[in-house]
Amino acid sequence: MAIKVLKPGLATTVQDAGRTGYYNVGIPLSGALDQYSFRAANLLVGNDENTAVLECALMGPELEFQRDAVIAVTGAEMVPKLNGALASRNEALMVKAGTVVSFDFMRTGARAYIAIAGGIDVPVVLGSRSTYGLGAFGGFQGRKLQTGDIVPVAAPKRAAKVGKRVAHDLAMPLPKELELRVVPGLYFHRITDESARTFFEDTWAVAPEADRIGYRYKQGRPLKFKERAQPFGAGSDPSNIVDAGYPYGSIQVPGGLEPIILHRDAVSGGGYAMIGTVIGADMDRIAQMQPNNKARFVKVDLDAALAARADRNQRLQRLRAALA
């Protein structure tokens, strides 16, 4: 079974739960940016929840199915169309052989997930089927899908139940304004007390440069770094440090101007001071932010981060129970 790419969309890639264990040589996590919606899509079509899917950013693809298949579309509000007829999101859909699946424009959210029963059948590279674009490996030939690609799909492990749905309260929320919880730390002590305050006071807008590597934010007041004689090996700008590893979710502010939150295709290290880290539970929510969506950063401590993590885990458990 395979699907033919008639139009690739803006940035459609194969992703799964991601690739662990290679960040020490610069190979990032990769994987679906919104892991919750990714898992929901798989559970809807009867896949193991870590099965490879298609992730679509901002504009969906047009796909021709060569055989009957069950699919589900989750994440961003991007309504699927089967041979032009509108169908439902967050629901297991029957797609007959020869059907063209296309999508309405993305209303809210930034990433939709298309799971197909059986899963996208590309080679496993370093433990994952996820695409790593900068390294040009994983996924479908190490790149975004292009017109004419024939994407292989594996045989389903179990029969999918057409019509299975994610209840509204268990779907990924898609607000246009949200609060992102941050544990200050790393090099937070390098910014002035005033900047340490304004960073959390200001409302920030997602800049057009927001992708799988990182999300850039603008419109807040610039941050000032404390003056110092730069340590040996650090660059000359006060926002520079001796090149270090960047945690996934860490926030760097090159030149003090625009904060960048590194996401799952992160550059693994460099010489810009990181002022804190977005909590694990909020990383999926960043994935659904469109350019110009607004965020406020909220200072939390480690215990709050762990409590939010427990809430997220419980929600995922309820999703699993609901779709079992």
Partner 1 sequence: MATGTARYSHGADEHIFVELSEEMSLDAFFKGMAITTALTKKKVPGVTEICPANASYQVRFDPDVTHPREMMKLLQQLERDMGSVELQLNTRIIEIPVLYDDPWTTETLMRFRERHQDPASTDIRYAARINDYPSVDEFIAAHSGSPWFVSMVGFVAGLPFLYQLVERAKQIEVPKYLRPRTDTPKLTVGHGGCFGCIYSVRGAGGYQMFGITPAPIFDPAQGLSYLKDFMCLFRPGDIVKFKAIDRDAYDAALKQVQAGTFKLRIRPVDFAMKKFLADPAGYNRQIEEVLYGN
Longest dimension (CA), the chain: 67
In this chain, which of 82, 94, 154, 244 binds partner 1, going by CB under 8 A?
Answer: 244
In this chain, which of 148, 155, 232, 321 binds partner 1, going by CB under 8 A?
Answer: 232
- Contact call for residue 191 and partner 1 (CB under 8 A): no
The single-letter code of the amino acid at 3 is I
In this chain, which of 132, 204, 272, 297 binds partner 1, going by CB under 8 A?
Answer: 132
Q: Least distance from C-beta 137 to partner 1, angstroms?
A: 4
Nearer to partner 1, 82 or 178 (CB): 178
- Contact call for residue 317 and partner 1 (CB under 8 A): no
Separation between Cα atoms, residue 266 and residue 261, nearest integer Å: 9
- Contact call for residue 296 and partner 1 (CB under 8 A): no
Cβ neighbours for 60, distance < 8 A, ≥ 6 positions apart: 9, 12, 78, 80, 102, 103, 104, 106, 112
In this chain, which of 110, 186, 223, 323 binds partner 1, going by CB under 8 A?
Answer: 186
Separation between Cα atoms, residue 313 and residue 178, nearest integer Å: 20
- Contact call for residue 152 and partner 1 (CB under 8 A): no
In this chain, which of 107, 242, 292, 317 binds partner 1, going by CB under 8 A?
Answer: 242
Strand runs (DSSP E) across the chain, as ranges?
2-7, 11-15, 53-57, 62-65, 69-75, 80-82, 85-86, 93-95, 100-103, 111-116, 150-152, 177-184, 203-210, 214-218, 240-245, 250-252, 260-262, 269-272, 274-278, 294-299
Q: Is the Cβ–Cβ distance between 33 and 284 less than 8 Å?
A: yes
Q: Least distance from C-beta 315 to partner 1, angstroms?
A: 14
The residues pairing with 57 across neighbouring beta strands, listed in sequence order, are 11, 111
How many CA atoms lie less than 13 Å away from 146 in the CB half-sphere?
Answer: 4
In this chain, which of 152, 175, 235, 291 binds partner 1, going by CB under 8 A?
Answer: 235
Residues 18-57 that bind partner 1 (CB under 8 A): 20-21, 23-27
Nearer to partner 1, 145 or 186 (CB): 186
The residues pairing with 225 across neighbouring beta strands, listed in sequence order, are 191
Span from 4-12, 53-61, 163-171, 305-313 in contact with partner 1 (CB under 8 A): 305-313
Q: Is the Cβ–Cβ distance between 154 and 46 less than 8 Å?
A: no
In this chain, which of 122, 182, 260, 295 binds partner 1, going by CB under 8 A?
Answer: 182
Nearer to partner 1, 175 or 269 (CB): 269
Q: Least distance from C-beta 306 to partner 1, angstroms?
A: 6
- Contact call for residue 297 and partner 1 (CB under 8 A): no
Separation between Cα atoms, residue 178 and residue 180, nearest integer Å: 6
Q: Which residues form the interface with partner 1 (CB under 8 A)?
A: 20-21, 23-27, 125-126, 132, 134-137, 142, 182-183, 185-186, 231-236, 241-245, 247-250, 267-271, 274, 276-281, 302, 305-306, 309, 313
